[in-house]
Structure 1
């Protein structure tokens, strides 16, 4: 049965659907032991290390006995039906010490956060900023409350808490960058404000915020952000802004900020095979897209409509600087829900050709939607 552990905010534990938090709270030290083990899966702690963490002032002989009892209590709390002498699935005895089994059926909110972070990184690296935003936001939704909030003053948590703090800041920063790539500068600025609440003296956050204000046409706000940075660094650290921050400020007031050209915005999947032929159809679809607001591809299932639509979309990336978006409709059962499906992609409804004229580029449609459209 899977163990689920919440490390952010209140420490909570479930085995399957049953919550074990009240039982662990009554036991006391076994709860602390679980926190130590679960945050270091696979690491073997010697009895002396654990005694130092739990009873630093107690006599060694009594502490060793206490430790064995508390380990036994923790094992029974996690596995009430574990018979005497049986091997625990979670708390292992190894080389004279103890460890949390890294292969045990167990998930934590931190593990899920890191999985979503890596997913966001992959999407961002591929230029698929809409999906990256979804992944980063889902990760941050798990980061509610302090990491091991009940143990904020325990020495063994300090390094862990600092790493978690940096991870949250890094995720907010990447989320802000993704929004900026989509030219959703106000949402990018929202992430900067959250970062400054967590790290009010972090100078690179001020630079990020200054740049987004400038790109949003809010030059006075960019200057104000610089002034706030100067005052905060002086008051809190008795420091002056770095040359990098000063250089950005001077570029802003002179309106000479050199922002790199953003990559083409899209969420098109990486194709595993090359596209061969159908040049005539591709040319016809391109022509239709510049004279109609909607182009529907119809045909028997499996004839390659979706692949053809993605090919055309990939060839039009530079013609639509606001983005080309694939909106999955196959999983939508209610036809009325299709109209709002593009809301997941910031700014997707505003796509226009670079010339400023012509229709919005409709996202390539999935097969089911194309078939329904063809029957209207």
Structure 2
């Protein structure tokens, strides 16, 4: 039993010295200077909280937040920042940040922010930093809903404040948030679906974006933005999507009134298309500043199936059931027909998802090829390794596996050629030489070391 553990990722440790001194008094703190060091540390250190310097995120991009949100959703992330921009706030919350800690915050503010996060994540209503806790405590039923509600509330307040002061104050016009709201009864009446016909929606995000409703495919859309808007909403169909998020995602450079009008027009076109083609109403409805799909819609989405198979494979792999794990890995790999939404290459939100699923796919192929190489399917392992290198030519570990596979087949010349390819690619891309592991393997192959093991 230990007090809560915190990992702090910094770029300039001097600027964070005040925060570090305070954290060392109240928590068990581990400070590191690189995001890449976090993943190997998580299993042994088991942090209850991550504090990350904003400049580290600027340097590594939002992909790190996305990765943590996907793989470790139970570990909350707080960003340390001074005067963050509206765009950065929006992207950070959208990609997994739970809160912001001002760089010049007082001791009371620092402990208050951290304690609030701990209360929600670990369900401690009277949290005391001197009280020992289990950092791997499993949240109670309903806690995820409570936490999502808190994050959504914080997100809305921040975005509203930014828009009010940045976009309206100077112009003197009335913010849209200050407009008179409809009565709750009237709003409720508009929000609730009235005439809904149950339907099944099948969506393929991998490759070209495709939609089938009740087994009938949508072949044309009323507009490009309408299609992208529907894709974004279905990607987040398990959670409410805030109107401000949609406006800033699809019309980031427009004034609020213009962005809101564009959103309304495209949603109207989308609803009309669904109603005219499938005689469906109230598929997407608006309530409490959010858009939602009707809860009775049954979604079948390829990327959700992919992640489900990945999790099953991981569970069996951890239980040392390799054959069943590989079966699920193979099923998952079969779903990956191409990269995420290849017909929408220039939207930042799609690129984030594309990068995540590409890395997941390569990880799946890596595990399959390793299993094949260790169980006599060397030709199949070589073919999969070639597929990995086609996606990511800089994977030095895959070149080593190919060297070993060819060596085991008695084709030493091809093994040596793989080393040469690896050397040329690393020099061309990064101006570096192969690692000592790769060079050592080369020497073993040259000397025909029969004890070599495929890895």
Q: Provide TM-score, normalisation by structure 1.
A: 0.60
Distance in 2 (CA, whole Å) between partners of 1:55 and 1:93 is: 19
Higher RCO structure, 1 or 2 (CA under 8 Å, sep 6+): 1
Q: What's the counterpart of residue 218 of structure 2?
A: 20
**Pair 1:29–1:153, CA change in 2 (3 A):** closer
Aligned match of 2:405 in 179, 190, 212? 212
**Structure richer in strand, relative to its length:** 2
Match of 1:53 among 249, 267, 273: 249
Distance (Å, rounded) in 1 between the aligned partners of 2:332 and 2:295: 22
The 1:102/1:205 distance shift into structure 2, 3 A limit, reads: farther
Confirm or deny: 8 A CA contact 2:378 2:405 kept in the other structure: yes
3-state DSSP class of the match of 1:26?
A: coil
Rounded Cα–Cα distance in structure 2 between residues aligned with 1:180 and 1:97: 50
1:47–1:126: structure 2 CA closer, same or farther, 3 Å change rule?
A: closer
CA contact (8 A) 2:339 2:357 kept: no
- In the alignment, what sits opposite 1:234? 427
Q: Tell me how far 1:225 sits from its aligned partner.
A: 0.8
**What are the Cα deviations for residues 157-184 of structure 1, in whole angstroms up to 9, with x where unaligned?**
2211111110111111111122123211
2:234 pairs, out of 38, 42, 47, with 38
Work out whether 1:136 is the aligned partner of 2:309: no
Against the structure 1 CA distance between its residues 103 and 135, is the aligned structure 2 distance closer, same or farther, given a 3 Å change threshold?
Answer: farther
Given the alignment, which residue of 239, 258, 266 partners 1:70?
266
Aligned to 2:41: none
Equivalents in 1 of 2:226, 2:333: separation in Å? 29
Q: Give the C-alpha shift of residue 131 in structure 1.
A: 4.4
From 415, 418, 430, give the equivalent of 1:225: 418
How far 1:78 sits from its partner (Å)? 4.3
User: In structure 1, what is the Cα distance between the partners aligned to 2:443 and 2:303?
Assistant: 41
1:249 paired to 2:447: no
Q: Secondary structure at the match of 2:222?
A: helix
Pairwise CA distance, 1:249: 2.3
| Long gaps (5+) in structure 1 | 263-376
Q: Is the 8 A contact 2:341 2:350 kept in 1?
A: yes
For 2:285 and 2:407, locate their aligned partners in 1 and report how far apart those are by CA, in whole Å: 56
Match of 2:359 in 1: 166
Retained in 2: the 8 A contact 1:41–1:101?
no
Kindly indicate whether the alpha-carbon contact (under 8 Å) linking 1:44 and 1:94 is maintained by their aligned counterparts in 2.
no
Aligned counterpart for 1:146 among listed residues 335, 339, 357: 339
Instruction: Return 249-258 or 204-213, whichever deviates more.
Output: 249-258
Shift of 1:135: 3.1
Given the superposition, is the C-alpha separation of residues 177 and 104 from structure 1 closer, same or farther in structure 2, using an over 3 Å criterion? Answer: farther
Q: Distance in 2 between matches of 1:137 and 1:63?
A: 44
CA distance in 2, matches of 1:103, 1:215: 55
Cα offset, 1:258, TM superposition:
5.2
1:105 aligns with 2:298: yes
Report SS of the residue matched to 1:106: strand
> 1:150 aligns to what SS in structure 2?
coil
Written as runs of structure 1 = structure 2, the 5 A alignment for 1:1-376 is 1-22=199-220, 25-78=221-274, 80-83=278-281, 86=282, 88=283, 91-99=284-292, 104-125=297-318, 129-256=322-449
Shift of 1:10: 1.4
Answer yes or no: is the 8 Å Cα contact 1:5–1:108 preserved in 2. Answer: yes
Q: 2: CA distance between counterparts of 1:236 and 1:135?
A: 34
Query: Any unmatched runs of 5+ in structure 2?
Result: 1-198
How many angstroms apart in 2 are the aligned matches of 1:78 and 1:119?
35
The SS at the match of 2:202 is: strand
RMSD: 2.8
1:181-204 deviation line (CA, Å, top 9, x unaligned): 321111101100011111111212
Give 1:134 shift: 3.9
